[in-house]
Amino acid sequence: MSTATLNPTDEDLEAIAALVIATQADLFWQAAAQQAFQEQLLQRLALRNDVPSPRLTENQVSDIRNNGL
């Protein structure tokens, strides 16, 4: 069984470093976009929660059960 040794050149290491930096930058921008989306979604939900939902009172439910619509 033989073992291979890696002897990267300076160009190889520079290319790897460039890929790592590009990946980190991409992940940063993806996280920033996701955070902005989540904040926008939370704002929309907060606005939606300010509007009372149309719910029936217990008396209205009882009336419907007893008398129908």
Q: What residue ranges do the domains of the chain occupy?
A: 10-67
What gap in Å lies between CA 6 and CA 23, rounded to an integer? 23
Q: Higher confidence at residue 6 or residue 52? A: 6
The per-residue pLDDT for 35 is 92
**3-class state of residue 1 by DSSP:** coil
Q: What is the pTM of this model?
A: 0.51
pLDDT at 24 over 70: yes
Each residue of 45-57: pLDDT tens digit?
Answer: 877 776 555 677 8
**Average model confidence (pLDDT) across the chain:** 84
pLDDT at 20 over 70: yes
Q: How far is CA 42 from CA 35, 36, 37, 39, 50, in A?
A: 10, 10, 9, 5, 12
